[in-house]
Amino acid sequence: ASIMPGVPHIFDFFASKQFKIGLATSSPPSLIDLVVQMTGIESYLSATASAEYLPYGKPHPQVYLNCAESMNSHPIECICFEDSFNGLIAAKAARMKCVVIPHHSLNKDARWGAADLKLSSLQNFGELHFDRLNS
């Protein structure tokens, strides 16, 4: 399994700002544990949430709401990073900010317009983007 380029950068960026970091996914808990181990991101994570046993996964917002709740964070204070359209809908339905990094083949899809920010790579995320999301 390969991890999206820029993930370490994003984790470092938000960890340095004392943000809590959660992982909300449709993958089963066993797969989450495996990926967390393989990528070495465990020390960054305050919470993980799986939609596997929820009545509805993404685009339903429940997995995001559960993740925020486990971190004692208010949804409107959260910034999500998504690469899928269903994930974007889930984040926005949870009233969270959402940055999308679409696969380049889907980059021109107008539906990404619902995001707060669209980037070609996580690596490109920086202070200016952060300030824009928080203004």
Q: What is the pLDDT of residues 110-133, one digit of tens each?
A: 999 999 999 999 999 999 999 999
Per-position DSSP letters for the chain, written without gaps between them: --PPTTHHHHHHHHHHTT--EEEEESS-HHHHHHHHHHHT-GGGEEEEEE-TTSS--TTSTHHHHHHHHHTT--GGG-EEEESSHHHHHHHHHTT-EEEE---GGGTT-GGGGGSSEE-S-GGG--HHHHHHHT-
Q: What is the pLDDT of residues 29-61, one digit of tens each?
A: 999 999 899 888 999 999 999 999 999 999 999
Least confident segment among 2-16, 50-64, 65-79? 2-16
pLDDT of amino acid 2: 65
pLDDT of amino acid 40: 87
